[in-house]
Amino acid sequence: MEQLVDNRYRIGRPLGSGGMAEVYLAHDDVLDRDVALKVMSGRYADDEEFVERFKREAQSAAALSHPNIVSIYDRGEDASDTYYIAMEYLPGGTLKDRILERGALPPETAAAVALQIAEALQAAHAKGVVHRDIKPHNVLVTSSGDVKVGDFGIARAASSSTMTKTGFILGTAHYISPEQAMGEPVGPRSDLYSLGVVLYEMLTGTLPYDAETPIGIAMKHVNGYLAPPKILNPTIPDGINAITCRLLAKSPNDRYADAGELIEDLERVLEGLSPSNDTTRMMIHGTNTTGSSQRTTAMPPPGREDYGRRRRRWFVPVLLLLLLLTAVGGIAYSQVGGNAVQQIPVPSLENARSIEEAQAIADEFKVVPGARRESREVVGAVVEQDPAPGEEAARGSTITVDLSSVQVTDLPNVEGRPEEEARDILDEAGFDVEVEVSESSTQDDGRVVSQDPAGGKGETAEVGSDVGITVGSGPAEAEVPELAGQAPEQAAAILADVGLELGAQAEAPSESVPAGQIVDQQPVSGTELRRGSSVSVTVSTGPDLPDLFPIPDVRGQTAETAQTTLWNALFASEVVEVRSNLPAGTVVSTIPAANTPTDPYAVTVTVNVSSGPPPAPEPPPQAAPQEAQQAAP
C-alpha cells in the first residue's frame, strides 16, 4: 500500500538516505509533479533537539533560490508527526557517481563544475547560510550537464549560535576544513576549502588526504602535506592547479576572501588567462598548504603560452627544476660534486591493503595515489604500481599506486533457478538480494525470470551490492481443473498447483459417487479464474437411504386393532386369513416380521389373521357285519 504524507505526497522508490532522513521519489498529488521528498527518520521524532535541527535545515534551505541550488518546494509536518521537505527532483546522478564511473574529469570540465558550485555558495553565503557539508555526493549533475548543490543538511545561518562544539566534527571527514576538524567556528571560507577538496578529486580522481580512521583523515587536513594535483595529473593547467592549492590552504586567511573572488579566478582560467596576482604570488612564495609556511608546494604561476615565452624566458630553468622536484616528490637531489642520485630496487607493493601500508613497505620512497578502479581486492588496496617491482629508481623518488575503489567479485547467473536456490547462490557470493514478483508462464512460476545486473561468465559486481531478481508468479489467470471423484484434500493440492484455492464444501447424497468424493464444483472445469480465487465443491455422502422404522408387534391382536396400530406407525397393511390354532380373527404374524426395520413408504405390511383351526378329518367308513363274516375263512 502506498504511503501518503500530509495527504499530498505519494511515496515512491527510495533515492538515498543519510543520518537525519530518508529521501524518496514522491508524487505531489496537488500539483501533479514528481518531487524528492526528504522524510525525517522516525526514530528521531521524539528527539526535540534533532527535530529543531531538521526544521532549521528546512528553513535555511528554503531561503535560498538560485539556478545552481536545488529548489525547496514545501516543508512541514503531517498528522502522524512526520517531518518532511519537498525538493526539486533531478533525474541523473551525483558528481560522486560521475567521478567513480569516469575517474578524473578533464581539467576544464572540473573548473566549469567548480564555477557553478562556487556560484551556488556565493548565493548561500549572501543569505548568511554556510553549507558545512560540501562534497560531490551533495552535488547533482542533470542530464543537460547543469550542476546543482543540494542537501543543506547541516547548514545554519552564519549569524545564529553555533552547533559545532569542541571535539565535534560536523561534515564528512574527507571534505572538512582544518578549522572544522579542530571544532572551531566555521564560516564561508570553510565551504571554499571543501570545494577545493572536490575540485582536487575531480582533477585527480583521488582525495588529497586519506587515512584508516575519520580522525586520522581530519588530522591530515590540519597538518598533513598536500601534494599539488599537478603532481598526480601533469595535464592540469598551472592556473587551475594554483586555484586548487589556494582553496586548500590550511589557514582560512590564505584562501579566497569569498566565493566571488574565486569565481573571478575560475572565469579567468577558463578564458585562458592567469588567475589573480594573489593566487599567483601564493604559488611562487608558498602557502600554508603543507603545515609549514616555508615550503613551496606547487607549480609557478600560469599564463598564456605566448606571454610566458616572451616575458619570462628567465623562468624556464627554474620551471624545469621545479618540475623535476615535483616528479620525485620534492626530495630528489644531487650530491655536492655532481655524484648521481642513488638507485635502489623498487619493492613490491601489490599486497598492500592501504596506501599507508604501502608507504610503510616502501619507506625509502614517496608513495602517492594514482587512479582508483574496480578490482577483486578490498577497497583501498594497491592493485598496480609504477615503477614496477624490481625496477631501479632513485631513493626518495615517487611510486604511484593505483588503488581499489570498489571490490568486485563474480556475479552468478541465477535465471531459471527456483527463488530459494537463487537467493542462496547470490548470498553465498556476497550480494544482497532484492526480489520482485511478476506474471509469467506456468513453467516459470516460482523461478527467476530475470536478474539485474545480469550475471554469468565474465560478469562482476561490487561485493555487498544489490542484485535484483524477478520471480515468476505464473499467469494472472488459471484454468479451473476437473475435481470430480477427488477427495477434498486431493482437490486442494490440485488447485494449489495452478494458483487457486479450495473454497466452501457442501454435502449431498449420490447414487453413483462414493461417499467422501466430489460430485460437483463451482465454477466448472475449464473456467478461467484469477489466481488466488477459490473453487467451491459438493462432496458425496453416498446413496440417499430412507428412514427405517420397526414393524410394530401386533400378534394376538384382532385384525382391526392390528391395522390401526400399524397405521399409527405409518405402515399400510392388508389382511390375509390363514389357518391357525389361534382363535379366528386373531393376528398370527406379519410380513415383514415384527420389529424388522422397514421403510413405511415402501412396504405394505401383510397381516396374517387366523381363520380358526382347520376342520377335524372325517373317520374312515365301517364295513357291514354280514360282509365281514362272509369274508372270514
SS (H, E, C) 206-222: CCCCCCCCHHHHHHHHH
The answer to whether the beta carbons of residues 358 and 349 sit under 8 Å apart is yes
First vs last C-alpha separation in the chain: 134
| Backbone CA torsion sign across 324, 329, 330, 335 | negative
Retrieve residue 517's grid coordinates.
468424493
Helix (H) / strand (E) containing 493: helix 488-497
* Residues 56/75, Cβ–Cβ less than 8 Å: no
Given a contact cutoff of 8 angstroms between Cβ atoms, the answer to whether 546 and 511 are in contact is no
> What cell numbers appear for 130 in the block?
554556510
The reply to whether 133 belongs to the active site is yes
CA separation for the pair 477, 499 (Å, rounded): 9
Polymer length in residues for the chain: 633
Per-residue CA distances from 511 to 487, 508, 515, 574 (Å): 17, 10, 10, 32
Cα separation, 482 vs 479, whole angstroms:
10
Residue 26 and residue 279: Cα distance in Å, rounded?
Answer: 45
* Closest C-alpha to 134, from 77, 194, 188: 194
Catalytic residue among 34, 46, 97, 133: 133
Computed over its alpha carbons, how large is the radius of gyration of the chain?
49
Helices (H) and strands (E) in the chain, counts: 17, 30
Which residues are catalytic, by number? 133
